[in-house]
Chains A and B, each alone.
Chain A
Amino acid sequence: MDGRRLDELRPLKLEVGILDKADGSAYIEHGKNKILAAVYGPREAHPKHIALADRAVVRCRYHMAPFSTDERKSPAPSRRELELSKVIRESLEPAVMSEYFPRATIDLFIEVLQADAGTRCAGITAASLALADAGIPMRELVAACAAGKIDGKVVLDLSDIEDKQGDADLPVAYMPKSNVIGLLQMDGSLTEDEFKQALDLATDACRRIYDMQREALRQKYHVARDETETEVAEVHA
């Protein structure tokens, strides 16, 4: 609708480490979405009884600011926010090596400052970076993007207007290195073939977003390399 190609992402901007007090943080602008992710952890488990003996408890709170949507949203957590907190946690926790920190917690906060469809995906993309920024050991980064259907065509990354008029919405969180999916939801109407098309569109987009995530980390932690060490070491047995 906005002149994009069917498989084109909305403009996406990522920034790492923008908060001072949080152990890790990241900010994402995706379309008109403006979302902040922050991580505290690993830290002491409070209250003690929630702690697990062999790994850290990962806690996730997805929340939308009252001014983030067209109609003011009540600050109290809605059922949708509770469900999204759960599925977002379930998409990131597989990547976190929580067994490094038994009896501790890793707390993840996602605040949607402005919403424009695809907030859970943008939130996951930012949260991944926030976890990495906090120095929490992870198997890899998690990228997320939604595909959908509008006007009978399978397309990528619906905006809010498109989502409201669209026929299907398929948010996906994907780890490109391992080729696995940590979040997958769908609502609308898709045939089996349309679904397969949409899934492929989404995972391809996630690969592109993954590259942007790595670039964002590089930008934050750009290191001046020592001039003397430029050779790649190769070992042959």
Chain B
Amino acid sequence: MFLLEFDCEFELERLTIHAENKQLVGPGELLAEGPYFAGENTYREGTKVFSARVGLAEVIGNKLVVVPIKGAYIPRLDDIVLGRVTDIGMSGWQVDIGAPYPAMLPASETPLQHGRDSVRRDLGHIYGVGDLMIAQVIAFDRTRDPLLTTRGRGLGKVTSGHVARIAPAKIPRIIGKKGSMITMLKKETGTDIIPGQNGVILVTGRNPDNESAAAEAIYMIEREAHTTGLTDRVKAMIVERMKGKVVG
């Protein structure tokens, strides 16, 4: 039944999950004893699984994970991120995506309409230092810095809109179960919202009022991410705020 092999024998009464679902745990706290999978942000020592971070414990089948409350953004393949150009090199741009590693966008990973001259052309004309972009992570591992691409729908330079920055760990809450939260936000504020996995969110609307309402909602979600009934409360806040304003 289990794919992993263990050196120790398990007695029936030793198979116990100690943590309750959504229980707040910290580093070194015992989550379970037995042949459970030590999922994200947990580690195994002998027959026991411990939490490695401050977060909420979750039991998914026979896997234990800890959903962290806080933490740096560590890029993953296919992540959509919002980054800021920090340097222009010979064949691409260095982009700050808020990770402990600077990302690289090679000129070859930008859309073809920049022309075959894109290498000889002054790269600064495409993106200058300080420019914002939406990109996707196409490579990242332990030995090298993340690689980005802007070839894809919806990717590219950001020229307008409102940028909100929240803790990367809270992005799933912004999106919500099956996108429920973000759909509500877009509808109620009449904006388009692009959440970057790195905690940077782009909000574009017809007018600045809509955009700032959406931003306010986003910060509210970040503050109260751990509470229940949040979707309804946020919706109520937006409706209240948007009273008398045009929803474009």
Contacts and interface: CB of A to CB of B under 8 A. Distances in A.
A150 B23 CA distance: 44
Which one of A42, A45, A95, A105 has the greatest number of beta carbons of chain B within 10 Å? Answer: A42
Given A97-B52, A224-B228, A141 B24 contact: no
B43 A141 contact: no
Q: How large is the interface on A (under 10, 10 to 19, 20 to 34, 35 or more residues)?
A: 35 or more
Contacts of B24: 217-218, 221-223
Contacts of A136: 53, 71
Q: Which 6 A-B pairs have the closest CB atoms?
A: A140-B28, A135-B71, A104-B100, A138-B27, A135-B70, A137-B52
B75 to A, nearest CB: 12
A101 interface: yes
A43 interface: yes
29 contacts: A41-B72, A42-B72, A42-B100, A45-B100, A97-B52, A101-B74, A103-B101, A132-B54, A133-B70, A135-B68, A135-B69, A136-B71, A137-B27, A137-B52, A137-B53, A138-B28, A141-B26, A141-B28, A214-B29, A223-B22, A224-B228, A225-B23, A226-B228, A232-B17, A232-B20, A233-B20, A234-B16, A235-B62, A237-B15
Which one of A102, A105, A230 has the greatest number of beta carbons of chain B within 10 Å? Answer: A102
Interface string B5-33: 00000101101111011111011110000
A223 B56 contact: yes
Contacts of A45: 100
B99 to A, nearest CB: 8
Interface string B34-48: 100000010100000
Interface residues of B, number: 42
A223 B13 CA distance: 30
Interface of A: 23-24, 41-45, 53-54, 56, 95, 97, 100-105, 132-141, 175, 177, 214, 217-218, 221-226, 229-237
B102 interface: yes
A236 B100 contact: no
B233 interface: no
Contacts of B169: 135
